[in-house]
Structure 1
Amino acid sequence: MLLHQESPQPLVSVIIPTYNRPEYLKQAIASAIKQTYQNIEIIISDNCSSDNPQGLVASFGDSRIRFWRHQQNVGMLANQQHAFKIARGKYLASLHDDDIWNEDFLAKLVPPLEANPELIIAFCDQYIIDADGRINHAGTEENTHGYKRDKLTPGIHQPFYKIGLIDKSIPTAAACVIRNIFVNWDSIPSEVGGMWDLYLTYLCCISGYGAYYYPERLTRYRAHEQTDTMLSGSRDVQAKIRKAKSEMFCYQVFMEDARLQEFRTYFQQKWLEANTTLGIGLLRSEQMAAARPYFWQALKKQKFNLRTMAALALSFSPRFLATKLMKISK
């Protein structure tokens, strides 16, 4: 097994942030180790899991693995950023601790980047799998269609503002390889939160370099009850509030970027929707007064929106009634 000091292949840093998912983490690490593209380092950054996964990581006995454990929970974004910052590779790829790569993932995405120095990112399509690793074929087709990868031309896209920020065709968090030198990891502000992948796509878009699409499903994205989008109850509300705040920040940045003015109307609409979503999240947390400014803000910028107006009306209802109605409307 060649290490990067001896290999003619450029080094790729595989970033695996993890928190309290040892069984999934084991599968993710295994899929990285089994890559047919061998010249890699695997950086595992643990966000202070209740059970230290160091023993699990060491059990693989692979000298390419670098393990870091935070002494306290620093949050999802900071944990991810730390791993990006210590990466030594010419290229890097993010692998969630609950996702899996095909063995030829890197072998198929690195060569286009090597062949064309004007590219900053190469990406592919992905399968959707359930908690037990079974492929959800309907979900997979829906995902491909929803992000318009079924209509996306293979090969080079430059510029790629539309496919990156409007269609969101690029799965930056789990199914791409990035040229490391062009990304300043300190330029990703904490306010982006869980939308860090969209913001990273933005940084790649404004770099002036191109993107390469490889039209195969080379990764397996796991949709399960531990993901933010599938939480329930109060945790679901808090996840929605966090996401809405992150979306508001990102779309505000995009609206103000002169390079993206042709898409400003779209970004403004997404920003308005995020205002309403945040307000509804606050309503469900029984923070009526705190919710209203976000509804007023959304209504000032658009002539009529039934969802926003209904939510605003609920914020003036008796607390018990508003709470009951919000639960019914989920």
Structure 2
Amino acid sequence: MSLSQECQQPLVSVIIPTYNRPDYLKQAIASAIKQTYQNIEIIVSDNCSPENPQALVASFGDSRIRFWRHQQNVGMLANQQHGFKMARGKYVASLHDDDIWNEDFLAKLVPVLEANPELILAFCDQYIIDANGIIDNAGTEKNTRGYKRDQLKEGIYQPFCKVGLVDKSIPTAASCVIRNNLIDWDSIPPEVGGMWDLYLTYLCCISAYGAYYYPEKLTRYRAHEQTDTMLSGSRDVQAKIRKAKSEMFCYQAFMEDAQLQKFRTYFQQKWLEANTTLGIGLLRSKQIAVARPYFWQALTKQKFNARTLVALSLTFTPQFLANKLIELSK
């Protein structure tokens, strides 16, 4: 690519939030640098990792990289948002420190946005890889089908509330390019926690702009032992509690949005499911009295649900027996 061609391309800000994963971070940065679309800035925002990755970042010797290190751990969401707020590009794309982009990821999605000013984002499909970077073919196929990307045809979706918030086809945090000036990054509330990508999808959905689907697997999402959904023991319980609280906040907001009333029944069901999940997490962490109201709420606002009823019954079971049943259910 010539210098004149590069200068004609709009700047894309690649946001890489990171915490304590230097080996994976190195691969993520390398995949950003190797993009055939060259007019980019790479923002690495470190959440006060025990081992400062500044030397690793500097070792690439690439002037397009901007590094920021928080003096204390500010939490995953604040670290992610800080990267977005640093962005100077016309477009932004999030790249988690344990994920990888194909070399043509930006080259295929950015031109679509440039050609269609009525679009707020463009997204693609993704591979699932393991801790060693090996493609999990079965996991990839399950992921594509689970988020119904196998049913999407290439092209513009407008509106795209069902695609984004019901089918959840848009991997906003890993395989998406967004038009920067259309998002107020301060409008993402801290209560969304780990569901920030779903809430960002929501902001895009209600923008009145469209979304474009490019039906190729252009990124690689890593599923490994450090992924929140794959934690074990007490860390797993706390992760589930955090996720359930985030889901409850998001679905409550969606239910109350007049623009989304068509999907209110679906959002309410997801909100009730999150109530039960939160209650079970609290029950497993021995917070029985705190857990019980969430089960009652879920039962009184939906039809019979065996999962919720069984969980509620455990809150009235003698502690030693409840503990055994909870352990068996893990």
> Which range, TM-score by smaller chain?
over 0.9
- Give the equivalent residue in structure 2 for 1:319: 319
TM-score (norm 2): 0.98
Superposed CA RMSD: 1.2
1:43 aligns with 2:39: no
Deviations 1:197-234 (A, max 9, x none): 00000000000000000000000000000000000000
Question: After TM superposition, what 4+ stretches of structure 1 lie above 2 angstroms from structure 2?
Answer: 1-6
1:165 aligns with 2:165: yes
Q: Measure the CA separation in 1 of the matches of 2:297 and 2:209.
A: 36
Q: Measure the CA separation in 1 of the matches of 2:114 and 2:78.
A: 29
- Relative to structure 1, the CA distance from residue 80 to residue 184 in structure 2 (aligned partners, 3 Å threshold; closer, same or farther) is same
- Give the equivalent residue in structure 2 for 1:122: 122
- Give the equivalent residue in structure 2 for 1:181: 181
Task: Give the C-alpha shift of residue 10 in structure 1.
Answer: 0.1
1:328 aligns with 2:320: no
Tell me if the contact between 1:4 and 1:10 (Cα under 8 Å) persists in the aligned partners: no
Tell me if the contact between 1:4 and 1:11 (Cα under 8 Å) persists in the aligned partners: no
3-state SS in 2 of match to 1:7: helix
- Give the equivalent residue in structure 2 for 1:276: 276
Q: Measure the CA separation in 1 of the matches of 2:123 and 2:95.
A: 13
Task: Give the C-alpha shift of residue 303 in structure 1.
Answer: 2.6
- Give the equivalent residue in structure 2 for 1:69: 69
Deviations 1:282-310 (A, max 9, x none): 00000000000100110110131110010
1:110-149 pair list within 5 angstroms:
110-149=110-149
1:96 aligns with 2:96: yes
1:1-330 pair list within 5 angstroms:
7-330=7-330
How many residues in Structure 1 have an aligned counterpart in Structure 2?
A: 330
Residue identity opposite 1:136 in structure 2 = D
Deviations 1:51-108 (A, max 9, x none): 0000000000000000000000000000000010010000000000000000000000
Task: Give the C-alpha shift of residue 5 in structure 1.
Answer: 12
Residue identity opposite 1:234 in structure 2 = S
3-state SS in 2 of match to 1:72: coil
Residue identity opposite 2:291 in structure 1 = A
Residue identity opposite 2:309 in structure 1 = M
TM-score (norm 1): 0.98
Q: Measure the CA separation in 2 of the matches of 1:58 and 1:95.
A: 18
Task: Give the C-alpha shift of residue 316 in structure 1.
Answer: 1.1
Residue identity opposite 1:131 in structure 2 = A
Tell me if the contact between 2:128 and 2:140 (Cα under 8 Å) persists in the aligned partners: yes
Tell me if the contact between 1:283 and 1:323 (Cα under 8 Å) persists in the aligned partners: no
Aligned-pair identity (%): 84
Q: Measure the CA separation in 1 of the matches of 2:185 and 2:86.
A: 10
Q: Measure the CA separation in 1 of the matches of 2:297 and 2:3.
A: 55
Tell me if the contact between 1:37 and 1:107 (Cα under 8 Å) persists in the aligned partners: yes
3-state SS in 2 of match to 1:123: strand
Tell me if the contact between 2:6 and 2:39 (Cα under 8 Å) persists in the aligned partners: no
* Structure 2 unmatched ranges of 5 or more: none
Q: Measure the CA separation in 1 of the matches of 2:310 and 2:97.
A: 40
Residue identity opposite 2:256 in structure 1 = E
Residue identity opposite 1:244 in structure 2 = A
